[in-house]
């Protein structure tokens, strides 16, 4: 049984870049099959890929970050077992990030990993304060305050920059419970 993992965050936070980097580490398929996505450099539809982590198949669901595409994100979030929310370190929690976190608080509040991306755009000494603000926001909406927050920069993706995230992902793998009654 697959573990459905939503990849969420504000437009241009690095969701698709992160998803591609994870998938490349695991040698899986491509994303953004929508014809206009390449020209616009934004995700216009849900992107899917899968990989095996700790013996469990993870289905990655790369969600668009545009406000106008929230219906697709809402529909997808109903199948999330867990989520990875990408936050742009230089901008903090933006409107669509907040909306996506609210969806996580409904569908997977105890199974959220946050990726603090674009850390190359902020002073390293600012990261603890940014992390503190994120934790405060999580607590306010009922997401586990101890949710992992992994700072990284996807500007020059290297396997070692994703190592910590992959370790967190491995520790987060679980057996999802599904309703099998057919009702």
Q: Provide the token pair at 165.
A: 């995230």
Q: How far apart are CA 106 and CA 141, in angstroms?
A: 9
CATH of the domain at 69: 3.40.50.300
**Partners of 113 in beta bridges:** 84
Is 182 part of any domain? Answer: no
Q: Which domain holds residue 18?
A: 3-171
Tell me: pLDDT of 25 over 80.
no
15-19, 80-84, 121-125: the lowest-pLDDT one: 15-19
Percent pLDDT > 70 in the chain is 85
Across the beta sheet with 112-117, what order do the strands follow?
A: 47-53, 56-62, 3-9, 82-88, 112-117, 149-151
Specify the pTM: 0.85
Is 61 part of any domain? Answer: yes
Is 167 part of any domain? Answer: yes
Is 55 part of any domain? Answer: yes
Is 183 part of any domain? Answer: no
pLDDT in tens, 119-130: 999 999 999 999
Is 111 part of any domain? Answer: yes
Q: For the chain, how many structural domains are there in total?
A: 1
Is 24 part of any domain? Answer: yes
């Amino acid at each position: 049984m697959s573990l459905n993992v939503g990849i969420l965050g504000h437009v241009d936070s690095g969701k698709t870049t992160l998803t591609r980097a994870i998938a490349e580490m695991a040698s899986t398929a491509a994303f953004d099959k929508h014809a206009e996505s390449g020209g616009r450099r934004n995700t216009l539809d849900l992107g899917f890929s899968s990989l095996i982590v700790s013996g469990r198949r993870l289905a990655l669901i790369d969600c668009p970050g545009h406000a106008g595409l929230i219906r697709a994100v809402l529909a997808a979030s109903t199948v999330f077992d867990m989520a990875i929310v990408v936050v742009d370190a230089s901008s903090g929690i933006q409107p669509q990030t907040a909306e996506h976190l609210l969806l996580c608080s409904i569908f997977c509040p105890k199974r959220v990993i946050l990726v603090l991306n674009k850390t190359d755009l902020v002073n390293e000494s600012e990261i603890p304060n940014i992390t503190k603000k994120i934790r405060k926001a999580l607590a306010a909406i009922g997401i586990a305050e101890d949710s992992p927050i992994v700072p990284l920069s996807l500007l020059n993706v290297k396997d070692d920059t994703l190592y910590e995230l992959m370790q967190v992902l491995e520790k987060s793998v679980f057996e999802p419970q599904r309703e099998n009654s057919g009702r």
